[in-house]
Amino acid sequence: MSAWWSVSDHLMTIRLRVTPSGRRSEVLDTTGDRLRVRLAAPAVDGKANVELIRLLAELFGVRRSAVTILAGQRAREKTVAIQGVDHLPRALQ
């Protein structure tokens, strides 16, 4: 297990560093104890948060309602919970 994610009772918690206003939404890499993500949405009116939830839901194969931002709503460093997941998708392994 890595420092940027943990699992407990089918609930995965992920620590992220988000960069908004990119050309496309993508996972970049892990830096220290965070997963780095670039988002193709500006950090205005919650658009970056909506895009982050969409990206993670697609990546983990869950509904958007299963992804919740626990901390960092208005910050680049965020903590996200994903329900119904107990392992990383192949793209992140």
For residue 50, tell me if it sits in a domain: yes
Helix (H, G, I), strand (E, B) or coil at 58: helix
**pLDDT tens figures, 25-82:** 999 987 678 999 999 999 999 999 999 999 999 999 999 999 999 999 999 999 999 9
Give a yes or no: residue 91 inside a domain.
Answer: no
- Give the CATH number for residue 74: 3.30.1200.10
Question: Is residue 62, in this structure, part of any structural domain at all?
Answer: yes
Distance, C-alpha 1 to centroid of its chain: 17
Q: If DSSP codes are grouped into helix, strand and coil, which group holds residue 15?
A: strand
Structural domain count, the chain: 1
SS3 breakdown of the chain: % helix, strand, coil, rounded to 5? 20, 40, 40
Which residue range forms the structural domain that includes residue 38? 5-85
Enumerate the H helices of 1-93 as residue ranges.
47-60
Residue 11 maps to a domain: yes
Task: Assess if residue 78 is contained within a domain.
Answer: yes
> Which residues, listed in sequence order, are joined to residue 67 by a DSSP beta bridge?
82
